[in-house]
Amino acid sequence: MPQIKDHAYWLERSEKLQIEGRAFIDGAYVDACNGATFWSQSPIDGKPLAAVALCAEVDVDLAVAAARRSFDAGVWADKSARDRKAVLLKWAALLEAHAEELALLESLDSGKPIGDTTGGDLPGTIYCLQWFAELVDKVHGEVPATDPQFFGTVTHQALGVVAAVVPWNYPLLMAAWKFAPALAAGNSVVLKPSEKSPLSALRIAGLALQAGIPAGVFNVVAGDGAAGRALSLHPDVDCIAFTGSGKVGREIAKNAAASNLKRVWLELGGKSANIVMADCPDIAQAARSAAAAIFSNMGQICSAGSRLLVQRSIATALIGELLEVSKGYQPGHPLDPQTVTGAIIDNAQLDRVCSYIEIGKQQAQLLSGGNRLSLADAGAYLEPTIFLAEDASARIANEEIFGPVLVVILFDTLDEAIAIANQTEYGLAAAVWSSDIKTIRTATRKLKAGTVWVNCYDELVDMNFPFGGFKESGNGRDNSAHALSKYTELKSTIIRCC
């Protein structure tokens, strides 16, 4: 009889979980050079999960040196694309074989519902690795037109050492969006997960070695911002790919410029507008989608639909539906498979979100939620929260909160909605709901956002569409074949043949 994977099952599995907290450098798990550690705590109940190596500059130096040696030795970069593909597919298969364990680790470390990590984070990470593995032996160069005595090619060549610095909201998936294309292209990688969620990245490093990724090609340095800073300043890092806040992104760009002008790719924050016109084809569907757009993953999604712009004539109907469906996002225990909403990443982030709720109460009308919940001793839980802001310039309507807080703003005309949508410093995503092709065409053209959804939200965030932002939401794109070129140089080779 197949075992029922209920709350008790996951609790029992979590008791037995062996957790690796050491860094992974040059093909081996190692302590930080000075032996320093920090506790990775679970936001589910505040319990410590593992002592994790607190990597400092000296550890980063070792990881970068290992990456450089492996790159220069050609043990990965000089393998045929077909061979790299085979190894990456083997790694993906090992992730699949360990998917339950990794999903559990991710839920414990980050507070995500187990249904999300088993059904979303892990399959998404595995697919990402498979996708770039499958792509890499189909990349071709160019042969430009030349005079007959010449022959020339334009080819892609791996950059060298790529540093990936990633956040805590999708710890494995955000990491995979960087390391999968970087490794597929032949680079060696040093990954720095967030100190708030380092465990899954450390675990998969051992599986990488088992799959056949040579020592030094994939390294993981756990630690705090100092490790990320050391990577951004390192003279032997050729490229730094970052996902996180604008504040840190700016610092990384400055450090890259001040050191060796390493390539910098930034995926930053958002304050995405979800615009519902009065001729929306299905108001109930728009309300369900609007709730999912902000309350999924506890609102900790860079492209969350954190602003809901509603044409005034349908405000009563849409807000009524929204308040009803938002009741389905009350937090529960993350290891209960029935739970839709888990914990906020930690109490510091919860405090930050709650301070925005206090600001919101001064500038807008609180329609629902707004309270912390004590589901477990030191757990970090918050009710889904909805504000109605009369004034579109209110702080909560413009600054990224990164929590389950939705701000509803009413408008009269499409032009007004587009102006409000475009008024923030961000440009990650947007959506428009309408039955009119002219409205859709105007909105999709004028919205300043890297992704625009029509009559849906958050659909197809997978490998086939580039993901990234306009304006201060960053540069470059993750996912799709466009992402591979971020991790290569273009080389023009011109041969005189006679």
248 touches ligand NAP (CB under 6 A): yes
Q: Which is nearer to Mg ion, 109 or 121 (CB)?
A: 109
* Identified catalytic residue from 302, 321, 383, 400: 302
By Cβ distance, which residue is nearest to ligand NAP?
228
Q: Which is nearer to ligand NAP, 383 or 400 (CB)?
A: 400
Q: How far is the CB of 169 from Mg ion (least distance, A)?
A: 12
Q: How far is the CB of 22 from ligand NAP (least distance, A)?
A: 16
Q: How far is the CB of 108 from Mg ion (least distance, A)?
A: 8
Report the DSSP pairing between strands 48-53 and 37-41: antiparallel
Q: Which is nearer to ligand NAP, 250 or 441 (CB)?
A: 250
Q: Pick from Mg ion, ligand NAP, none: which does 333 bind, CB < 5 to 8 A by kind?
A: none
404 touches ligand NAP (CB under 6 A): no
109 touches Mg ion (CB under 5 A): yes
29 and 218 in contact (C-beta within 8 Å)?
no
Q: Is 302 part of the annotated catalytic residue set?
A: yes
> Which residues make Cβ contacts (< 8 Å) with residue 260, sequence separation at least 6?
234, 235, 236, 237
Query: Of these, 43, 167, 186, 334, which contacts ligand NAP (CB under 6 A)?
Result: 167
Q: Is 267 part of the annotated catalytic residue set?
A: yes
458 touches Mg ion (CB under 5 A): no
Burial class (CB in 10 A: 0-12, 13-18, 19+), 137: middle
245 touches ligand NAP (CB under 6 A): yes
The CA-based diameter of the chain, rounded to the nearest angstrom, is: 79
Residue 450 and residue 465: Cα distance in Å, rounded? 10
Q: Which is nearer to ligand NAP, 252 or 410 (CB)?
A: 252
Q: How far is the CB of 187 from ligand NAP (least distance, A)?
A: 19
> Which residues make Cβ contacts (< 8 Å) with residue 459, sequence separation at least 6?
453
Per-residue tokens: 364:
């807008």
Query: Of these, 40, 125, 169, 385, which contacts ligand NAP (CB under 6 A)?
Result: 169
Query: Of these, 10, 71, 132, 168, which contacts ligand NAP (CB under 6 A)?
Result: 168
Residue 245 and residue 228: Cα distance in Å, rounded? 13
Q: How far is the CB of 391 from ligand NAP (least distance, A)?
A: 24
302 touches ligand NAP (CB under 6 A): yes
211 and 90 in contact (C-beta within 8 Å)?
yes
Residue 335 and residue 339: Cα distance in Å, rounded? 8
Residue 21 and residue 203: Cα distance in Å, rounded? 8
Q: Which is nearer to Mg ion, 87 or 345 (CB)?
A: 345
Q: How far is the CB of 87 from ligand NAP (least distance, A)?
A: 26
383 touches Mg ion (CB under 5 A): no
Terminal C-alpha separation, the chain: 74
Element (H, E) at 432: strand 429-433
Q: Outline where 265-422 has alpha helix (H).
A: 283-295, 315-326, 347-363, 414-421
Q: Pick from Mg ion, ligand NAP, none: which does 424 bind, CB < 5 to 8 A by kind?
A: none
Size (the chain), residues: 498
Asked whether the CA dihedral 433, 124, 483, 402 is positive or negative, the reply is: positive
Q: Pick from Mg ion, ligand NAP, none: which does 109 bind, CB < 5 to 8 A by kind?
A: Mg ion
472 touches ligand NAP (CB under 6 A): no
Which of 221, 120, 211 has the alpha carbon at shortest distance from 166? 221
Q: Which residues are catalytic?
A: 267, 302
Site residues (vs ligand NAP, CB under 6 A): 165-169, 174, 192, 194-196, 224-225, 228-229, 232, 243-245, 248, 251-252, 267-270, 302, 400, 402, 428, 469, 473-474
